[in-house]
Every structure is written in C-alpha cells, then in structure tokens.
Structure 1
Amino acid sequence: MSDRIFAGIWIVLCIGGLFVGWQIQSEYSYEPVGPRPFPMAILGLMLMCAVLLILRHPDVVEWPHRRTLQRLVIMVISLALYAWTFEWLGFPLATTLLTACFGMLFGATIPAALISGVVMGGVLFYSFDRLLDVTLPLGVWLN
C-alpha cells in the first residue's frame, strides 16, 4: 500500500512539474530544441512510471538486505557529488567517475568500470556536444 501512496504523491508532483515545465521560456535560442523538451520528457516518463506503479499487481515486498541499502546510499551520494562537481570537473570527467562508481557497485572489476566510464563519458559528451548541439561544461581542467 505504501508504494501506491508514494506513486499517488509522485503523480501529483509530476503533473505540477509538467505545468511548470510547459512555462519554461528562453530569451534567446541557445540550443536547437530549446530548454523545454528535456524536463517535459523526464517528467512524462516519471509520470508514466508512477501510473504503472499504481496499476501493477500487488505483491509481498520484503525490505532490502543491508548490503542493498548501503549500495543505494552510495548511489545517492554519488549522484549528489556528480551534481555538485559537474561544472567544476566538466561533463566528461564527472560522467566517467559516476559511471565507474556505478559499475563497481554492480560488481564490475576496476579496469572494466574505468573503461566503461571513459567510453560513456566520451560518447555522451560527443553525442550532446556535436550531434545535438547541447553546450556542456568542460570543467576547469580543459578551459
């Protein structure tokens, strides 16, 4: 029942976010698609997931094991550090470190996590910067 209560609250928040996101305007066009589509898409996906959470078949859920909770806490801390250091480290390096951290949390070896982090950081930066013309910070290291 608590997951349905959470989903109901999340639906209300997503609908509110969609109203706020729809009103996003830019004084000038600095990207081809503008600032509105990304938050609208993310909020739309979250709304869809919350609706699916309400409609799913109820089942017995056990509390996660202590190790799982530790991993979740590390993930939240990693995401907070990613957001905090995003501009300073730059997108490629911050994404590399975050991907490597998540890879190790899911059982990857250190070399595999670092390689996947470098590939993910590079490919995503190239995709956003060159293909989508989205300006991303390079950090103090490359400026």
Structure 2
Amino acid sequence: MYVRIFAAVWLLVCALLAVVAWGFQAPFSYDPVGPRAYPLLLLFLMATAAIWLIYKPGDVEELPISWSLARKVAIFVIALFAYGLLFEPLGFVVSTTLVGFGLGMLFKGRLLPSLASGLLMGALLYGLFDYLLDVPLPLGLLAFLEN
C-alpha cells in the first residue's frame, strides 16, 4: 500500500518537474538538443518506474525495508545533495571521487576498491564529458592543471 502511494506521489512530482524542465532555455545554442533533454529523459525514466510500481502485479508490500536501509537511503540523499553543493567549489573530479568513495563505503565496500573506483569514476567521466563530448566541467581545486 505505502509503496503504491509513494509511487503515485513520485509520479506527480515527476509531472510537475517535467513542466518546469520544459521551460529550460539556453541564452545561446551550444548544444543541438538544448538544456531540457537530459532532465526530461531522467524524469521520463523515473515516471516509468513509478508507473511500474503502481501497476506491478504481485505483492509489492513484501519489500525488505528496514531502519538500517532507510538510514542508508537518507545518507545517500544527503551525499547527493552535498555533491550538488560542492560540485563547483571542489570541481567535478574531486567531488565525484569523494561521493563515489563515500557511497562505496556506505554500502560496505572495502577501503581501497572504493577509493579506486571513486577516483577512476571522477577522472574517466571528466575525460568523457570534457574531451569526447565537449561539455565543459568545473575543475575547482584542480584548476591549476588547466592550460
């Protein structure tokens, strides 16, 4: 019951955010699809998942939800919020490394693999976006590396 109520509320939130995202306009055209494509795609995927949770056949109420899982989800949301706040001051690579490492440790990853995966994720995604897709990302603390 609660899962379906949450999914219905989330579907409504997705619809409202889609209305907001539809109005995204760039002052100049730097991207052929414009700034609204990415948020609309994510909202579409989330809305599809919410619809699936509402109409899924079978017993959805048997999901193994515990207080420790709820605490991890809350910490996960706080980490993503902090990631959004620290994205520009620390830069993409550092903030992505920190959030990747932190989330790896949150879900009981080992120290070195979590650190390595966070660092690789930050560096490789920066290279993908900045060099291959030509999407400029902030360097933040690593700005001294820029030419």
TM-score, scaled relative to structure 1: 0.88
Runs of 4+ in 1 over 6 A off after TM superposition: none
How far the C-alpha of 1:26 sits from its partner, in A, is: 1.4
Structure 2: which 5+ residue stretches go unaligned? none
Inter-CA distance 63–15: structure 2 relative to 1 (3 Å threshold): same
Kindly indicate whether residue 139 of structure 2 is the aligned counterpart of residue 111 of structure 1: no
Inter-CA distance 138–27: structure 2 relative to 1 (3 Å threshold): same
- The aligned counterpart of 2:38 is 38
Inter-CA distance 62–40: structure 2 relative to 1 (3 Å threshold): closer
- The aligned counterpart of 2:17 is 17
- Distance between the aligned counterparts of 1:54 and 1:91, measured in 2? 36
RMSD value over aligned CA atoms? 1.8
How do 1:53-92 and structure 2 match up within 5 A? 53-56=53-56, 57-61=58-62, 64-92=65-93
- Distance between the aligned counterparts of 1:7 and 1:30, measured in 2? 36
Inter-CA distance 19–69: structure 2 relative to 1 (3 Å threshold): closer
How far the C-alpha of 1:63 sits from its partner, in A, is: 6.3
- Distance between the aligned counterparts of 1:35 and 1:72, measured in 2? 29
TM-score, scaled relative to structure 2: 0.86
Contact 1:32 1:133 in 2 (8 A): no
- The aligned counterpart of 1:123 is 124
Bigger drift between 77-86 and 93-102 goes to 77-86
Structure 1: which 5+ residue stretches go unaligned? none
Say which structure is richer in helix.
2
AA partner of residue 116 (structure 1):
S
1:27-53 alpha-carbon deviations (Å, 9 max, x no partner): 202334321111111111111011101
Bigger drift between 68-77 and 119-128 goes to 68-77
Inter-CA distance 14–70: structure 2 relative to 1 (3 Å threshold): closer
- Distance between the aligned counterparts of 2:38 and 2:90, measured in 1? 23
Aligned pair count reads 143
